[in-house]
Amino acid sequence: MAARPVIDALAERGIEVEPTLLAAQLSREALASNENRLPHQSMLRLWETAAVAAHDRSFGVHVAEALPTGLTQYVRLIYDHSDWRLVLEPRQVRLIRRVAAPAPQYDEFSLTLLLVRSRQSSGTQWTPEQMAFQHEGSADNRELARVFACPILFGASETEMRFAPSILQLPHRRSDSRLLAILTRYADSLLSSLPSRGDLVASASSAIARQMAKALPSLASTAAAVHLPERTFQRRLAEYGASHSALVGEVRRDLALKYIGDAGLSIGEIGYLLHFSDSTAFHRAFRRWTGEAPTRYRRRLFEQSRQP
């Protein structure tokens, strides 16, 4: 349970826990069972309130580093609103998550924990190539810089960790294939028992992609396509930590990465197909998505495909 580290960290620092629980609208009874699933907004309030109580801007980072040593598709077993995606590209890997309302402490905790656990399990002090957070940076980001040791962007369109593909090949120092098989079967059975959470998001994304063939989708047009009133559609997307504008951006990005590999389409034609106002707007968006200009990305992609 992602709430336990917060409570333990406050207790270890000698900070009264009850006011933080009260602010998050949680009780000790709710935290007592490993089977309880906590409300999304309460979880986020818990992390933010705890950071204030601890007078620690990097509370999430410090909690993640202090946890005793213990796959993205299983994150939902402890957190319903997780929607991490692992994107494999020719020269880099991108671990991505986008939410409608960023939660600085929880987001920094999650990414720090992923990095620390990976370093511990592989015995390699590797560093990401770049980090990006949706929330704005503070006056003092030294702790994040210390942990990640790479360029860090704030106010980005999505939370993201970029790293070299070779990191995925690092061996686990204490691998146990039989134990992994047992735990994977158990985790899969738990995951299949959870209520479906992605049907609306998947349907909305498909509707946006279909509409993109003719025009840039609007909230109203997509709501109509999934047969929901506009306000209901907007509210239900928010429950999944999504928004219509964010989904449009994701579909545009995915289509751009697909089209860029088609030598029959010019860069200008791709921008036109994705309904950007002009080539400058498309170039700016593509650089935000990939860190490169579309022409350079395409050239590198084609060079990679020609290598034996």
Q: Is 132 helix (H, G, I), strand (E, B) or coil?
A: strand
Are residue 82 and residue 100 in the same domain, yes or no?
yes
pLDDT band at 232 (very low <50, low <70, confident <90, very high): very high
Q: Which residue has the higher pLDDT, 238 or 179?
A: 238
pTM (two decimals): 0.56
From 34-43, 124-133, 156-165, the region with the lowest mean pLDDT: 34-43
DSSP H helical ranges for 95-160: 104-122, 142-148
Interval 43-80: pLDDT, tens: 788 888 899 999 999 998 998 888 765 444 444 444 44
Domain boundary among 10, 32, 55: 55
Who contacts 39 (Cβ-Cβ below 8 Å, separation ≥6)?
Answer: 25
From 66-80, 93-107, 123-137, the region with the lowest mean pLDDT: 66-80
Are residue 65 and residue 187 in the same domain, yes or no?
yes
Domain boundary among 142, 167, 193: 193
Are residue 41 and residue 120 in the same domain, yes or no?
no
Are residue 227 and residue 239 in the same domain, yes or no?
yes
pLDDT band at 290 (very low <50, low <70, confident <90, very high): confident
Q: Which amino acid is at 279?
A: S
Query: Residue 37 has what pLDDT?
Result: 56
pLDDT band at 5 (very low <50, low <70, confident <90, very high): confident
The answer to whether 207 touches 217, Cβ cutoff 8 Å, is yes
Domain boundary among 171, 193, 215: 193
What is the domain-level CATH number for residue 261?
Answer: 1.10.10.60
Name the strand (E) or helix (H) holding 300.
Answer: helix 294-306
Are residue 172 and residue 77 in the same domain, yes or no?
yes
Are residue 233 and residue 250 in the same domain, yes or no?
yes
Are residue 117 and residue 165 in the same domain, yes or no?
yes
Distance between CA atoms of residues 236 and 138, nearest Å: 31
Are residue 76 and residue 161 in the same domain, yes or no?
yes
Per the structure, how many domains does the chain have? 3
Are residue 226 and residue 283 in the same domain, yes or no?
yes
Range of the domain at 37: 1-55
Are residue 47 and residue 141 in the same domain, yes or no?
no
When the pLDDT of each residue in the chain is averaged and rounded to a whole number, the result is: 81
Q: Is 3 helix (H, G, I), strand (E, B) or coil?
A: coil
Query: Residue 92 has what pLDDT?
Result: 85
Interval 278-288: pLDDT, tens: 999 999 999 98
Sheet holding 159-163: strands in order across? 85-88, 93-97, 159-163, 130-132, 152-153
Name the strand (E) or helix (H) holding 172.
Answer: none
Who contacts 135 (Cβ-Cβ below 8 Å, separation ≥6)?
Answer: 102, 103, 104, 107, 154, 155
Query: Residue 191 has what pLDDT?
Result: 47
The answer to whether 275 touches 215, Cβ cutoff 8 Å, is yes
Are residue 41 and residue 74 in the same domain, yes or no?
no
Distance between CA atoms of residues 28 and 40, nearest Å: 17
Are residue 272 and residue 204 in the same domain, yes or no?
yes
